């Protein structure tokens, strides 16, 4: 184990993630840390457009870091159909307090290790990063 | 599993850096005390009986520590070591960021815990930061010291760059730390230090200060530190200083040097700056000069030289003055951009984008004006198609004490209690437990 906070992860997190991954029930999941102790599911989203989802996160979580999973769907070139990739990111809200920031950063690995099938694990520090991440993922398809 | 279970007592966080030691309570957003890691040492045969005279009545007792059985004397604390004392050596227990002198380290811990924080370590868990290149022997000795001598309730140690990365909100980052003794570039991945990517160079704050001393010599400027100056008179710029010199016989070389370095520190902070793009003598020559007044009243203005010395951080072989006399094989070191480049070259290509977008700067030597812009300017063209983003806290506490701050918050989290090495675990397993628990 690397240096970390020792936080735990609720079973609901894994269940919800499985529903997104296997049954495509949701597009996105937002996780938060409750009482500085346990990672829990805060909300789920059905927003199909990544850019709209990105705006939602950056507007509503200006000062609150979160962990986010999003199922990014994209068209392959020349009508080869659609693909999707599940991305995981730590939203390191630009206006967050240092305590929150350190809490989420040092607890990330615990959640991340429980989620299997993530194709990209990235760090998003501000709104601009969403575009870069999307671009990198589309380029690497 | 036996764990330490008391989250109602706050932990003590101790960060002994090569220039400054920071100590305070976990959960607070700045250290309670910051004092020099440098300490004064008066050898056995030179300790003067207090009643007789001298130096000790200048300073008062707050920081001085008389060791009773031996008669040698350790002097700690910023104001204390700045007071002139006959035969007092100024020393530093660290070399290249690693602990060399354990007796002195104990004095630093004693001073921090009992004099500055007034705490009894028996009642608190203790978190200590360490260099990324710290060795197993050092960590084990630290653990032993914490439990055997200080009887700490619990103990933990974390590497500096990991704490800096945590405090910046980036579990994966490249941490550029340019402090006093060392400049290092360390890749951190999900809270792990990737050892093979680590880059280290002695070209940091102390090296620059030494270079400035040489620059003054070349300019025929005699540096008289404050302790030698009894009183001074106003003089026109560039005219010789008019001052009365104190008689300070039996001053050690190390004390004189420490005092000279204090002046140079001020010079660095007020006069020096990094040129914002590739070094260009012509543009720099047209920039306004900056004046500086020395403690003896001599004042003059500095032009290109105020850019030249910080430039060493970027191009060591080209800008070092008298490189063969520095005791450092300057030619074998690359500048900061080169270190970052070498670090990335050892890492997986897939991780490159993530690392480049999360470069974290910390340490006093990154505070030169334009430093961050310059690093960006040098790196960005080298990585086309990548987005280079540098994170450097504007708040100077965060920049100078980032590792302490990360440790402070980490140790105060309710869930952290299960990670501490408890007294029982230490008793059961001995000092080797540190390698297992503090990875």
- Taken in order of first residue, the domains within chain A and their CATH numbers are 8-139 (3.40.20.10)
- Could you tell me which residues come within 8 angstroms of residue B306 by beta carbon, excluding any fewer than 6 positions away? B271, B272, B273, B290
Residue A6: what pLDDT? 87
Closest Cα in chain B, distance from residue A26 (Å): 26
Cβ of A123 and B358 within 8 Å? yes
Helices and strands in chain A: count of H runs, count of E runs: 4, 6
For residue B50, what are its two tokens?
Answer: 């207090």
Question: What radius of gyration, in Å, describes the C-alpha atoms of chain B?
Answer: 23
CA distance B163 to A4: 10
Confidence of residue A141 (pLDDT cuts 50, 70, 90): low
Pairing relationship of beta strands B39-42 and B89-91 according to DSSP bridges: antiparallel
- Could you tell me which residues come within 8 angstroms of residue A5 by beta carbon, excluding any fewer than 6 positions away? A103, A106, A107, A110, B410, B413, B415, B416
Q: Which of B165, B121, B181, B171 is nearest to B147 (CA)?
A: B121
Tokens 């991340």 sit on residue: A112
Closest Cα in chain B, distance from residue A76 (Å): 21
Residue B49: what pLDDT? 56
Distance, CA of B211 to chain centre? 18
CA distance B287 to B272: 13
Give the mean pLDDT of chain A: 92
* B339 touches B361 (CB < 8 A): no
CA distance B222 to B217: 7
Confidence of residue A139 (pLDDT cuts 50, 70, 90): confident
Q: Identify the three-state secondary structure at position B375.
A: helix
- In the 8-state DSSP scheme, what is residue B229? E
Confidence of residue A136 (pLDDT cuts 50, 70, 90): confident
Residues of A with Cβ-Cβ distance to B163 under 8 angstroms: 3
Q: Which of B390, B379, B303, B374 is nearest to B344 (CA)?
A: B379
CA distance B439 to B54: 49
Confidence of residue A81 (pLDDT cuts 50, 70, 90): confident
Give me the tens of pLDDT residue by residue for chain B, a chain 439 residues long.
445 554 467 999 999 999 999 999 999 999 999 999 999 999 887 766 554 444 444 444 444 455 444 578 999 999 999 999 999 999 999 999 999 999 999 999 999 999 999 999 999 999 999 999 999 999 999 999 999 999 999 999 999 999 999 999 999 999 999 999 999 999 999 999 999 999 999 999 999 999 999 999 999 999 999 999 999 999 999 999 999 999 999 999 999 999 999 999 999 999 999 999 999 999 999 999 999 999 999 999 999 999 999 999 999 999 999 999 899 999 999 999 999 999 999 999 888 989 999 999 999 999 999 999 999 999 999 998 888 999 998 888 889 999 999 999 999 998 898 999 999 999 999 999 999 999 7
pTM over 0.80: yes
Cβ of B419 and A37 within 8 Å? no
DSSP H helices in B293-437: 305-311, 316-319, 336-346, 352-356, 371-379, 396-400, 402-412, 423-429, 433-437
Q: Is B382 left (phi over 0), alpha (psi -120 to 50) or beta?
A: alpha
CA distance B180 to B177: 10
For residue A82, what are its two tokens?
Answer: 């659609």
What's the angle, vertex CA B37, arms to CA B308 and CA B34, rounded to 5?
95
CA distance B222 to B226: 13
Cβ of A132 and B168 within 8 Å? no
Tokens 């104190």 sit on residue: B246
A37 touches B: beta carbon within 8 Å: yes
Lowest-confidence segment of A8-22, A74-88, B211-225, B243-257 by average pLDDT: A74-88
pLDDT tens by residue, A23-61: 999 999 999 999 999 999 999 999 999 999 999 999 999
Closest Cα in chain A, distance from residue B111 (Å): 28
């Amino acid at each position: 184990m690397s240096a970390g906070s020792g936080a735990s992860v609720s079973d609901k997190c894994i269940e919800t993630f499985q529903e997104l991954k296997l049954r495509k029930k949701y597009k996105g999941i937002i996780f938060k840390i409750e009482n500085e102790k346990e990672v829990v599911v805060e909300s789920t989203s059905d927003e199909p457009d990544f850019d709209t989802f990105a705006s939602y996160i950056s507007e509503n979580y200006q000062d609150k870091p979160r962990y986010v999973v999003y199922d990014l769907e994209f068209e392959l070139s020349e009508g080869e159909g659609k693909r999707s990739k599940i991305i995981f990111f730590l939203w390191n809200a630009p206006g967050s307090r240092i305590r929150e920031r350190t809490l989420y950063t040092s607890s990330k690995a615990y959640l991340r290790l429980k989620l299997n099938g993530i194709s990209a694990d990235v760090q998003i520090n501000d709104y601009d990063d969403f575009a870069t991440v999307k671009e990198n993922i589309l380029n690497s398809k | 599993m036996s764990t330490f279970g008391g989250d109602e007592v706050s932990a003590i966080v101790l960060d002994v850096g090569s220039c400054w030691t920071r100590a305070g309570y976990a959960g607070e957003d700045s250290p309670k005390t910051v004092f020099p890691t440098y300490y004064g040492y008066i050898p056995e045969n030179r300790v003067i009986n207090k009643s007789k005279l001298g130096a000790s009545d200048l300073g008062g007792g707050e920081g001085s520590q008389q060791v009773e059985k031996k008669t040698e004397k350790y002097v700690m604390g910023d104001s204390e070591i700045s007071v002139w004392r006959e035969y007092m050596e100024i020393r530093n227990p660290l070399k290249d960021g690693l602990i060399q002198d354990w007796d002195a380290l104990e004095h630093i811990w004693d001073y921090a815990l009992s004099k500055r924080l007034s705490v009894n370590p028996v009642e608190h868990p203790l978190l200590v930061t360490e260099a990324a290149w710290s060795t197993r022997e050092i960590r084990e000795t630290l653990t032993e010291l914490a439990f055997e001598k200080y009887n700490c309730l619990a103990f933990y140690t974390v590497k500096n760059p990991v704490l800096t990365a945590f405090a910046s909100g980036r579990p994966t980052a490249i941490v550029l730390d340019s402090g006093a003794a060392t400049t290092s570039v360390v890749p951190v991945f999900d809270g792990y230090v990737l050892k093979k990517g680590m880059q280290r160079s002695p070209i940091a704050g102390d090296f620059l200060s030494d270079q400035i001393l040489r620059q003054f010599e070349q300019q025929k400027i005699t540096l008289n530190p404050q302790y030698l100056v009894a009183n001074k008179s106003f003089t026109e710029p560039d005219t010789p200083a008019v001052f009365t010199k104190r008689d300070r016989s039996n001053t050690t070389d190390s004390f004189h040097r420490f005092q000279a370095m204090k002046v140079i520190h001020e010079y660095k902070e007020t006069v020096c700056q990094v040129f914002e793009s590739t070094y260009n003598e012509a543009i720099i020559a047209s920039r306004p000069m900056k004046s500086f007044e020395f403690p003896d009243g001599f004042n003059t203005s500095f032009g290109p030289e105020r850019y030249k010395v910080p430039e060493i951080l970027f191009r060591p072989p080209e800008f070092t003055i008298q490189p063969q006399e520095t005791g450092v094989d300057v030619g074998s070191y690359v500048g900061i951009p080169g270190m970052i480049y070498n670090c990335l070259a050892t890492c997986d290509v897939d991780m490159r984008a993530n690392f480049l977008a999360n470069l974290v700067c910390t340490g006093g030597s990154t505070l030169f004006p334009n430093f961050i812009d310059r690093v960006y300017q040098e790196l960005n063209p080298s990585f086309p198609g990548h987005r280079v983003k540098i994170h450097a806290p504007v708040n100077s506490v965060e920049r100078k004490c980032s590792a302490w701050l990360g440790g402070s918050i980490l140790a105060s989290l309710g869930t952290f209690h299960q990670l501490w090495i408890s007294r029982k675990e230490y008793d059961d397993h001995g000092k080797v437990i540190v390698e297992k628990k503090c990875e």
